[in-house]
Chain A
Amino acid sequence: MDFAVIWKYLPVLAKGAVTTVELTALAVVIGTLLGLVIAFAAISKNVILKGFARFYTWLIRGTPLLLQLFLIYYGLPQLGLTLSPFAAAVAGLSINSAAYIAEIVRAAIQSIDKGQMEAARSIGMSYFQAMSRVILPQAYLRMIPPLGNEFIALLKDSSLVATISMVDLMRTAQQMYATTFRPMEIFIAAGALYLLLTTFFTVTFGRLERKLAVYQ
């Protein structure tokens, strides 16, 4: 073990980490928006929307992320749609995380006591007013721990994009190992960077939970 190697290559690894952060951030935002839409479809009374939501989560959760990334990056060009590695990575990660986020959101909303919706409707609030002012603010609190898990998993799973020639933290580490033959140092350094990033999520979500829980 030579720690000097770590210091030497850390800046290069950090550059890869920036790509990992960009990918994860985009996938978190797009995946959450998409997940919200699917969650609302899942709890709606409309049979078609409900069916679509069930089908989506069944399909996406039931197949490997790696396969989904391959289909998007290598498969779609066959149908005439060629995406850059970055676009394919964002699409794959977003579509994948949306399925999990939708389930988290759905479960949180449905865990709120039915009396809350009834009380809101009984004073004359519309369905959407009741949702946005009464149900969702309470559901957020219950979503936070599982969402924290999901975002951490997403960040780590983003390492799979290395396989579709996306130069993220993982791929950078692989390249450096190939040139330096110092796998121990390089992968430990990369691991430390992943830990740093996931710790950010852990700390942020811990704070958010404490802040939102004032009323309990």
Chain B
Amino acid sequence: MVKVRNLHKSFGSLEVLKGVSFDVSKGEVVCIIGPSGGGKSTLLRCINHLEEPDKGLVEIDGKPVVSTTRSIFRKDHHLNKMRSEIGMVFQRFNLFPHRTALDNVIEGLVTVKKMRRKEAREIGLEYLRKVGLADKVNEYPSRLSGGQQQRVAIARALAMQPKVMLFDEPTSALDPELVGEVLAVMRDLAKGGMTMLVVTHEMSFAREVANRVMFIDDGQILEEGPPEQVLGRPQKRRTADFLRRVV
């Protein structure tokens, strides 16, 4: 489902990704762990081209994620289409503050998929129900807690019916007591067979839900494998050091 080959990305003289390659198959949940500044977020952002990789290849379902035009005046139909098939959940939610919860969820359906509002509303309501927010449909984000905002953000991404979901530290900006409700939604999603790539510091979530854990540091995948192996019996010294520090 996701194919990444030899991904390189530098910011100025700082090389953040130094050739990353991996595959994710359909329905697989991959958790990406590692120290901050190691390139985890950049990797995720390269997958949906929020950052343009310097070198390398990203494919979703056999189709390359690339921009086809440099000009903002020409619509990049291919990339916009690819992005609509890749759901992204951000650390800081990034809900549209001027739109109600429901309008946040249906925004992409209406503007990108050109769906009629009435039809989009039905779908939007269904996804808000799915994340347990049926009673917050008409609230503005400023009236919602962090955990509720993040669940709306997940519903917004899901409404586009993406082939894969990317989560960029989805619980890192939340108060500890709100982390659980977001992880619960993600757990349901994984059970439902969604292909997921999750950058996270929640080791218990990774242990429980992930099919595979990747440890990324210094712009490379240092170690990967089933969670019990990577988290339980790490082969590399740096993985072990990292795990000792976070647990």
A-to-B contact residues, CB < 8 Å: 44-45, 113, 115-116, 118-129, 133-134, 137-138, 214-216
Contacts and interface: CB of A to CB of B under 8 A. Distances in A.
Contact of B108 (A44, A113, A125, A216): A125
Interface residues of B, number: 33
A115 B83 contact: no
Given A115-B94, A215-B97, A216-B142, A122 B72 contact: no
Nearest to B166: A122
A44 B94 contact: no
A122 B98 contact: no
A116 B94 contact: yes
Contact of A124 (B90, B92, B108, B142): B108
Contacts of A133: 107, 111
Contacts of B97: 138, 215-216
A134 B96 contact: yes
B84 A127 contact: no
Interface string B106-120: 011001100000000
B15 interface: no
B169 to A, nearest CB: 13
Nearest to B112: A124
Interface stretch (B28-36, B73-81, B126-134, B174-182): B73-81
B88 interface: yes
Interface string B48-88: 10100000000000000000000010011000111111111
Contacts of B108: 123-125
Nearest to A133: B111
B50 A118 contact: yes
Please name the 7 residue pairs, one residue from A and one from B, whose CB atoms are nearest each other, closest first.
A124-B84, A123-B108, A119-B94, A115-B94, A122-B88, A124-B112, A215-B140
A118 B168 CA distance: 13
A18 B48 CA distance: 56
A129 B82 CA distance: 16
B96 A119 contact: yes
Interface of B: 48, 50, 72, 75-76, 80-88, 90, 92, 94-99, 107-108, 111-112, 140-142, 153, 156-157, 160
Nearest to A135: B96
A123 B94 contact: no
A81 to B, nearest CB: 32
Listed residue (B48, B111, B156) with the most chain A CB atoms within 10 angstroms of its CB: B111
Contacts of A216: 97, 142
Given A137-B98, A215-B97, A127 B48 contact: no
A123 B112 contact: yes
B156 A45 contact: no
Contacts of A128: 72, 75
A124 B88 CA distance: 11
B96 A115 contact: no
Nearest to A138: B98
Given A116-B96, A137-B98, A215-B97, A123 B72 contact: no
A125 B112 contact: yes
B111 A129 contact: yes
Given A115-B92, A127-B72, A133-B111, A122 B86 contact: yes
Contact of A123 (B92, B141, B156): B156
A128 B112 CA distance: 12
B111 A122 contact: no
A168 to B, nearest CB: 39
13 contacts: A113-B94, A115-B90, A118-B50, A122-B86, A123-B88, A124-B80, A124-B82, A125-B108, A133-B107, A133-B111, A214-B140, A215-B97, A215-B142
A47 B18 CA distance: 31
Contacts of B92: 115
Contacts of A123: 83-84, 88, 107-108, 112, 156-157, 160
